Amino acid sequence: MSITEDGDVPSVWKSQPLQTISISPEQMRSRAARFEAQTNRRNRSDMASFVVLFLMTIGGMMVQKNMLTRAGIVLTALWALVGIYSVRRYHRLAAPGTAEAMGATGATWYRQQLERQRDVASSRPWGIALAAPGVCLLLMGYVDAGAPRNIVAILAGVAAFAGIVGVIHGRILAGRCQLEINQIRAME
């Protein structure tokens, strides 16, 4: 007798045994160490990109004469400063604390840090949205200054593409963190 003949798929589904996930303390430490290394590497690259962007905007303010373009550059520089602050303040991992406070394997600390990084990754679209007014003013300033419209259209497309890629990357990263959180919760 097949499932389609029986027609009771939900009861067959519920009768399946639950798969227990067991991770040894050594595997947990290995995952936590890999997570910490990845997070620190991503934070260093985020910090470097914001610093480079800030320095480029400062240089752009000195070169540009158009006030609309300068206003866009100032807003983009402010966004870079907010990004630098955000990386320093929110993206870092918290200190692990004592073994008594976090459990023998550190699973609680690891889960809390995963939750924190998931929230940071989920909030990235808001950070990208802060850059949008500066980029719009910058592009309008280029048009006002007499730049060829096809070049401005290409720049707008590149900026939009970068924003979309940033949002998608944040969603993927948040999803990975959530999967790991679910595995840890299943063990607790």
Local confidence pLDDT in tens for the 188 residues of the chain:
455 555 677 777 777 776 666 677 788 778 888 888 888 888 888 899 999 999 998 988 888 888 888 888 898 899 889 888 888 887 776 665 544 444 445 778 788 888 888 888 888 777 777 788 888 888 888 888 888 888 888 888 888 888 888 888 888 989 998 998 888 887 76
Contact, 51 vs 35, CB < 8 A? no
Structural domain for 183, as ranges? 25-187
Would you say residue 171 lies in a domain? yes
Q: Find the angle CA(63)-CA(147)-CA(65) to the nearest 5 degrees.
A: 25
Would you say residue 106 lies in a domain? yes
Would you say residue 5 lies in a domain? no
Would you say residue 15 lies in a domain? no
Q: How far apart are CA 157 and CA 165, in angstroms?
A: 12
Would you say residue 20 lies in a domain? no
Q: Is 11 exposed, middle or buried (0-12, 13-18, 19+ CB in 10 A)?
A: exposed
Would you say residue 17 lies in a domain? no
For the record, the structure tokens of 79 come out as: 């966004």
Predicted local confidence at residue 188, as pLDDT:
67
Would you say residue 52 lies in a domain? yes
Nearest C-alpha neighbor of 121 from the set 79, 82, 175, 40: 175
Residues 6+ away with beta carbon under 8 Å from 142: 66, 69, 151, 152, 155
From residue 166, give the alpha-carbon distance in Å to each of 15, 124, 162, 169, 188: 42, 7, 6, 5, 33
Residue 144: other Cβ atoms inside 10 A:
13
For the record, the structure tokens of 56 come out as: 């480029």
Would you say residue 37 lies in a domain? yes
> What is the count of structural domains for the chain?
1
Q: Global pTM?
A: 0.69
